Amino acid sequence: MATTATEADTGRTLSGHDEAAEHIARQAFADAQVGAVGLELESHTVELTAPHRRITWNRLREVGDSVPDLPGSSAITFEPGGAVELSGPPRSDVWSAISSMRADHEILTAAYRGAGIALASLGTDPLRRPERVNPGARYVAMERHFGAAGYGETALQMMTCTASLQVNVQSGTPRQWRDRFVLAQRIGPTMAALSASSPMLTGRRTGRRNTRQWIWDNLDPRRCAPVEIGVDPTESWVEYALRAPVMLVRNKDGADAVVTHVPFQSWVDGTMPLAGRAPTTEDLDYHLTTLFPPVRPRRWLELRYLDAAPDWWWPALAFTAVAALDDPQVADAAAEIVEPVGNAWGVAARIGLEDPALHAAAHRLVSAACAVAPPELATDMEFLLERVEQGRCPADDFIDNVAEYGVEKAFSGQWDEP
C-alpha cells in the first residue's frame, strides 16, 4: 500500500476486454525458479512522550530523511496513518532476506528512537483512533472511494490502524503456478493465527486475536476477498481484476476518487466511462495495485495475511511461510496439514490458536519448518515452536504486557520505566 502517485502517465489506450485481459495475464505470474524471497515489514510510529497522539506527517518525513543508508537496501515509505514500512529487495534465499531486513530494521528503529519515536510491530494500533496523516492523493481518493461504497469506518481502520509482515515468493514454473497459488492461500488462516498480534483497537480489547484480519474480512469482497482459483490461475486472476471496481483515476493534479460502482471491465468496454476517456495500460497497472486479496499475483506471489510482529517473532513467522511453499518436503506436508482449515479465515481472526484444528495445523506446520531451518534461525524457530506448543501467539504476549504495564507503555515498549 505504499505507492503514491502525483501524476498520471498517458500510456497506451486499451482497445477493449481482450487487450486488458492479455495485459493482466502477462504480469500475473513469471516463469522463475523457486528460491528468491522479499520481505516487507510495517511498524506503527509511537511518540514516546505522548503515545496516544499521532505523529505529524512532516515530522515522520524529517526523521525518515535522516535515516542513514541501510545495508540491506530496503526502501522506506509511509502508510496512511503514519506507520513506516521497510520494503526489502528480493534476496536469493529466505535467510538472506531475513538477515537483511533485520539489519535494516535495527537501524531504522535506532534512528526513530533517537528522535523520541518508538516503532511498534503489531497488527493493529491498540490505542489511537483512526486518523489519516499521509496527504498522498492515493490515500485521499482511497478514503473517499471506500466511504462511498459503505466501508468508510472499516476502511479507515485498515488504512491507518493496521500493519503487516508481507512475504513475497516466486511464482515458480508454469506447472507450479496453480498449486503454489492455491497453497499460498490455503496456509493463510494458519499463518494468520500464528502471527496474530492485534487484540486491541482504539484502546479496547476487541475480543479477537487477529483484529487486522477481521478488518480485511469486512472490507469490499470485490477487492479484498481471496481469489477463487479455477483450473487456470491466470484466468482466475484476470476475472478477479476485471470485475473489481475502479478506485480512482489519476490526473495531472493527483487523483479523482471513483464514488460509484464501476468495474474495470465496464470502463474498458465503454459501458461506464470515467474521466471522459477510455482506460490506458497505466490505468490498468495502477488498478492492479488497488486490489488487496490475501495472496496477490504480481509476477511473484505476495502473502499479505501476516500481522506485523515483534522482533522475536517475525523472523520465524517469515521462515515458516516461505518453507511451507518453497521447501518441497514442507510444501508436500503443508498441503495436507492445512486442508481442514484452509478457509478458516473468520475463526483465525476470532480465536486463532484457541481453535483446536488451527492449533493442530500450526503445530505441525511449524514443526515441519523447524526440521529444515538453517542454523542461523534455530533459536527463532525453537522460540516459535515453544510458543505454539503453549497455544500462544504475539497477541497473548501483548495482552500480558498491557495487564502489567498499561496499554501506552506496552505499545511504546517503555516497560522498564516507572
Q: 117-167 pLDDT, tens per residue?
A: 999 999 999 999 999 999 999 999 999 999 999 999 999 999 999 999 999
pLDDT for res 112? 98
pLDDT for 211 beyond 50: yes
d(CA 18, CA 20): 5
Q: Which among 378, 412, 411 is positioned nearest to 197, based on CA atoms?
A: 411
For 297-344, how does the pLDDT look when each residue is reduced to its tens digit (9 = 90+)? Answer: 999 999 999 999 999 999 999 999 999 999 999 999 999 999 999 999
| Percent of the chain residues past pLDDT 70, beyond the cut | 97
Confidence of residue 273 (pLDDT cuts 50, 70, 90): very high
Q: Which among 124, 188, 142, 149 is positioned nearest to 1, based on CA atoms?
A: 142
pLDDT for res 418? 47
| Angle at alpha carbon of residue 126, lines to 318 and 351, rounded to 5° | 60
Q: How crowded is the C-beta side of 105, counted as CA atoms within 13 Å?
A: 29
pLDDT for res 5? 34
pLDDT for 2 beyond 90: no
pLDDT for 279 beyond 70: yes
pLDDT for res 148? 98
For 46-100, how does the pLDDT look when each residue is reduced to its tens digit (9 = 90+)? Answer: 999 999 999 999 999 999 999 999 999 999 999 999 999 999 999 999 999 999 9
Confidence of residue 6 (pLDDT cuts 50, 70, 90): very low
pLDDT for res 3? 36
Confidence of residue 417 (pLDDT cuts 50, 70, 90): low
pLDDT for res 415? 67
Mean pLDDT of the 27-35 span: 98
Confidence of residue 11 (pLDDT cuts 50, 70, 90): confident
pLDDT for 109 beyond 70: yes
Asked whether the beta carbons of 326 and 300 are under 8 A apart, the reply is: no
pLDDT for 9 beyond 50: no
Mean pLDDT of the 164-188 span: 99
List the grid coordinates of 38.
522479499
Domain range 17-412, its CATH number among 3.10.180.10, 3.30.465.10, 3.40.50.10860, 3.30.590.20 = 3.30.590.20
d(CA 344, CA 352): 10
Mean pLDDT of the 189-202 span: 99
3-state secondary structure the chain: CCCCCCCCCCCCECCCHHHHHHHHHHCCECCCCECEEEEEEEEEEEECCCCCCCCCHHHHHHHHHHCCCCCCCCEEEECCCCCEEEECCCECCHHHHHHHHHHHHHHHHHHHHHCCEEEECCCECCCCCCCCCCCCHHHHHHHHHHHHCCCHHHHHHHHHHECEEEEEEECCCHHHHHHHHHHHHHCHHHHHHHHCCECEECCEECCCCEHHHHHHHCCCHHHHCCCCCCCCHHHHHHHHHHHCECCEEEECCEEEECCCCCEHHHHHCCCCCECCECCEHHHHHHHHCCCCCCEEECEEEEEEEEECCCCCCHHHHHHHHHHHHHCHHHHHHHHHHCHHHCCCHHHHHHCHHHCHHHHHHHHHHHHHHHCCCCHHHHHHHHHHHHHHHCCCCHHHHHHHHHHHHCHHHHHHCCCCCC
List the grid coordinates of 98.
531475513
pLDDT for res 414? 86
